[in-house]
Structure 1
Amino acid sequence: MKILVVGATGSIGLHVVKRVIEIGHQPRALVRNRQKVKLLPRDTEVFYGDVSMPETLTDVVKGIDAVIFTLGSDGQGRIGARAIDYGGVRNILKMLEDKRVRLALMTTIGVTERLSDWNQRTQVHDWKRRAERLVRASGHPYTIVRPGWFDYNNADEHQLIMLQGDRRHAGTPKDGVISREQIARVLVSSLTSEAAKNKTFELVAERGKEQADLTPLFDALKVDEPQKIDGIQDLNNMPLSDEPDCIVRELNGLLLP
């Protein structure tokens, strides 16, 4: 597969690109900062563009079979969250037009939590959740992964746990921890797993060894309900009827037959 990695030079994206190469796929890294290209493996195809500027993305999806989104606004507040966490996903999906590819989107554990001071100030959870909705509405086969806190694992915490319903809202590593390498493995593996298709889950690691086969974990998950824009068992605390008209129009505009 030729896989477009959006957010390729970020802390998760670099692991994703490496994993893609290791298992025999071809990565295409979408890169905004040219100085970060040196961080990528030599076998990486590089495409220069900015996810928040659609005019720079012409041909970025040409010839690809899948997209992995690991992008993040990194504390840039409401403007960054809307332009990158949400806008970046929207812009790439629009570039796909009627080309059907496999998608893997990384958001965050606690993405449905709306009342914390942090989300009230930045709206990052809300914009990431809207990006999830775009992916579900797009008609492309997808997997949405909501990882816990990156690399907070203890030395004996490697057993992968996949949860659904997003009920861990402490806003601290108590919600769950996971290594960056494990996140990359799950994202890349989901692209070729029928068992991971159209599923949304939180990903954490607990005490124990990492499983060699992810299929039983994917199999145990429930599929998102067709025609619904939120993940299975998610809280109904951001009704579409309360969303701005512009967001509803963009959601409707991405619906594929």
Structure 2
Amino acid sequence: MNLLIFGATGGTGCELVKQALAQGHIVTAFARNPDKLDIQHSNLKVTKGDVTDVAAVEQAVKGQDAVFSALGSSSLKKNPALVEGVRNIVQMMEKHGVPRFIYESSLGVGESRKRVNFLVRFIIIPLVLRNAIADHEEKEQIIKQSQLDWVIVRPAGLTNGSHTKDYKHGESIQYGAKISRADVADFMLKQVSENTYLHKTPGVSY
């Protein structure tokens, strides 16, 4: 399939690129700083651009079979640019008839907050992750209101651990503390061809 990955130079994004190529897909990696993506492959196209640039997003979206977002921010402040970026992605996908959108969100968003431990629910999220969670909630609403075949994936705390393929997933899981970015990418890639979680918000965790 032709797969487009936004946030391709981030931790999960890099794993999505590597695993998608290993599975034989044709991958377009969209990044502000392509030099950060140290991957070379005959089926890989690296596109430089910013998600706030509608024309760049539209050009990347054309001809794709599915789109992934692993967009993230290293800051704990709100990031309106990423919200605008997700809106641009959704609009261009609808315009060009690209149906499948898999979005990496976070544990603690929406009803998933009820299924995390006390420390995360009442201390880490309100005091540390408040802005990031608020951004994810805004972006999730944009996606949910779209006409796309979307899956919103809510991982536990991200690590750089190994690709185990051994994790739990579902809308009602009790979250563990962590999940490797490699395993999040593994789960996200499965959503390209599976409909179990279509229009749903599964969590993924150890």
After alignment, is 86-95 or 139-148 more displaced?
86-95
Pick closer, same or farther for the CA change 1:32–1:152 going to 2, 3 Å: closer
Residue 101 of structure 1 contacts residue 140 of structure 1 at CA under 8 Å; is this kept in 2? Answer: yes
For 2:7, the aligned partner's letter is G
Larger Rg belongs to: 1
Q: Which residue of 2 aligns with 1:96?
A: 93
Q: Which residue of 1 aligns with 2:106?
A: 108
Query: 1:127 Cα shift?
Result: 1.2
The sequence identity of aligned pairs, in percent, is 27
User: What does residue range 37-186 of structure 1 map to in structure 2 within 5 Å?
Assistant: 37=37, 39-43=38-42, 44-75=44-75, 77-78=77-78, 81-84=79-82, 86-98=83-95, 99-112=97-110, 116-120=126-130, 123-151=131-159, 159-164=166-171, 175-186=176-187
After superposition, give the CA deviation of every residue in 1:28-68 in whole Å (9 maximum; x if it has no partner): 0001113214x123231111110123243341111001001
Q: Which residue of 1 aligns with 2:117?
A: none
Q: Secondary structure at the match of 2:36?
A: helix
Q: Which residue of 1 aligns with 2:11?
A: 11
Task: Specify every segment of 5 or more residues in structure 1 that has no aligned partner in the other structure, as ranges.
Answer: 169-174, 206-257
Query: 1:158 Cα shift?
Result: 6.4
For 1:30, the aligned partner's letter is F
Task: Specify every segment of 5 or more residues in structure 2 that has no aligned partner in the other structure, as ranges.
Answer: 114-120
Residue 103 of structure 1 contacts residue 140 of structure 1 at CA under 8 Å; is this kept in 2? Answer: yes
Pick closer, same or farther for the CA change 1:55–1:110 going to 2, 3 Å: same
User: What does residue range 163-242 of structure 1 map to in structure 2 within 5 Å?
Assistant: 163-164=170-171, 175-205=176-206
Pick closer, same or farther for the CA change 1:51–1:33 going to 2, 3 Å: same
Q: Secondary structure at the match of 1:109?
A: coil
How many angstroms apart in 2 are the aligned matches of 1:51 and 1:76?
19
Q: Which residue of 2 aligns with 1:219?
A: none
How many angstroms apart in 1 are the aligned matches of 2:5 and 2:32?
12
After superposition, give the CA deviation of every residue in 1:179-218 in whole Å (9 maximum; x if it has no partner): 111101100111100223222111101xxxxxxxxxxxxx
After superposition, give the CA deviation of every residue in 1:207-246 in whole Å (9 maximum; x if it has no partner): xxxxxxxxxxxxxxxxxxxxxxxxxxxxxxxxxxxxxxxx
Residue 109 of structure 1 contacts residue 166 of structure 1 at CA under 8 Å; is this kept in 2? Answer: no
How many angstroms apart in 2 are the aligned matches of 1:197 and 1:23?
21
Residue 160 of structure 2 contacts residue 181 of structure 2 at CA under 8 Å; is this kept in 1? Answer: no
Q: Secondary structure at the match of 1:128?
A: helix
Residue 110 of structure 1 contacts residue 167 of structure 1 at CA under 8 Å; is this kept in 2? Answer: no
Q: Which has the higher contact order (CA 8 A, sep 6+)?
A: 2
